[in-house]
């Protein structure tokens, strides 16, 4: 996220910068963790669509396990974080992630597709990205694992929610306080992967 003028007086953005996080998104994960306790101290965690790395920074503080970020774009180095540059739909990338971490307890994804400005197209792309992240999670998570994904409310949203419900014993939606007013952004939290 650029430091465009729209952010210059944004309290959440300024707090993120002040506390050394790469973006305001950090606080969304902190809030989700406080409410849902998705990450335990020894969990190995994969962050999909991890660039620029603000969720990775938070994850490093939440677990003593291994933390892996995957993105199509390079992720600037962070202490104690492993990264893979590649496509999450590529089976070779999924295999590599699994080999690096062994047991994976949590998969998170705060990625959003590049927006075109066409609402229905962007919505469909976001749902497709959600399905790709879910597929990745189902391939690497151990039974009982947790999943967090950003999505957007719209016509296709119930379909993604239902799909996640097929794979996790408890599924909830959550809008964070750090989300900009008027945004349709919503997080889906899947707990206790059926395996």
The verdict on whether omega for the bond into residue 22 sits within 30 degrees of 0, i.e. cis, is no
Domains in the chain (CATH in brackets) are 31-193 (3.40.50.150)
Q: What mean pLDDT is predicted for residues 163-171?
A: 98
Residue 136 CB: number of other CB atoms within 10 A? Answer: 23
Residue 120: its pLDDT value, please?
83
- pLDDT (tens digit, 9 = 90+) per residue, 86-99? 999 999 999 999 99
Task: Tell whether the model's pLDDT for residue 12 goes beyond 80.
Answer: no
89 DSSP 8-state letter: T
Nearest in space to 72 (alpha carbons), one of 26, 42, 113, 122: 113
Task: Tell whether the model's pLDDT for residue 115 goes beyond 50.
Answer: yes
Task: Tell whether the model's pLDDT for residue 5 goes beyond 80.
Answer: no
Query: Rounded distance, CA 70 to CA 135, Å?
Result: 15
Q: Which residue in the block uniquely carries the two structure tokens 């790469």? A: 22
Residue with the larger pLDDT of the pair 156 and 104 = 104
Residue 179: its pLDDT value, please?
79
Query: Rounded distance, CA 109 to CA 164, Å?
Result: 13
Query: Rounded distance, CA 35 to CA 54, Å?
Result: 19
Catalytic residues: 150
Asked whether 60 and 47 are in contact (CB, 8 A), the reply is no
Strands (E), 17-160: 45-48, 67-71, 82-85, 104-109, 141-152
* pLDDT confidence tier of residue 178, bands split at 50, 70 and 90: confident
Q: Average pLDDT over the chain, rounded to whole? A: 88
Task: Tell whether the model's pLDDT for residue 3 goes beyond 60.
Answer: no
* pLDDT confidence tier of residue 116, bands split at 50, 70 and 90: confident
Query: Rounded distance, CA 53 to CA 79, Å?
Result: 11
- pLDDT (tens digit, 9 = 90+) per residue, 16-71? 555 555 466 788 999 999 999 999 999 999 999 999 898 999 999 999 999 999 99
SS3 category, 84: strand
Nearby residues of 64 by Cβ (< 8 Å), 6 or more positions away: 41, 42
Asked whether 25 and 7 are in contact (CB, 8 A), the reply is no
- Phi first, then psi: what are they for 34, rounded to 5°? -65, -35
pTM for this entry:
0.88
What share of the chain has pLDDT > 70, as a percent? 88
Q: Which two tokens stand for residue 175?
A: 């809008």
Helix (H) or strand (E) holding 157: helix 157-167
Task: Tell whether the model's pLDDT for residue 1 goes beyond 50.
Answer: no
SS3 category, 194: coil
């Amino acid at each position: 996220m650029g430091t465009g003028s729209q952010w210059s007086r944004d309290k959440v953005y300024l707090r993120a910068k002040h506390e050394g996080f790469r973006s305001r998104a950090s606080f969304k994960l902190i809030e989700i963790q406080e409410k849902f306790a998705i990450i335990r101290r020894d969990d190995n965690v994969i962050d999909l669509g991890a660039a620029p790395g603000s969720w990775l920074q938070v994850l490093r503080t939440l677990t003593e396990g291994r933390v892996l970020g995957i993105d199509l774009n390079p992720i600037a180095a962070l202490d104690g974080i492993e990264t893979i540059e590649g496509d999450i739909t590529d089976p070779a990338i999924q295999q590599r992630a699994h080999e690096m971490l062994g047991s994976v307890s949590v998969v998170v994804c705060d990625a959003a597709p590049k927006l075109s400005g066409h609402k229905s197209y962007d919505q469909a792309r976001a749902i497709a990205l959600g399905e790709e992240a879910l597929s990745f999670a189902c391939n690497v998570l151990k039974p009982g694992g947790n999943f967090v994904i950003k999505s957007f409310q719209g016509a296709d949203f119930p379909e993604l929610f239902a799909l996640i419900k097929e794979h996790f014993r408890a599924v909830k939606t959550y809008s964070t306080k750090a989300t900009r007013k008027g945004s349709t952004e919503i997080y889906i939290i899947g707990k206790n992967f059926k395996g």
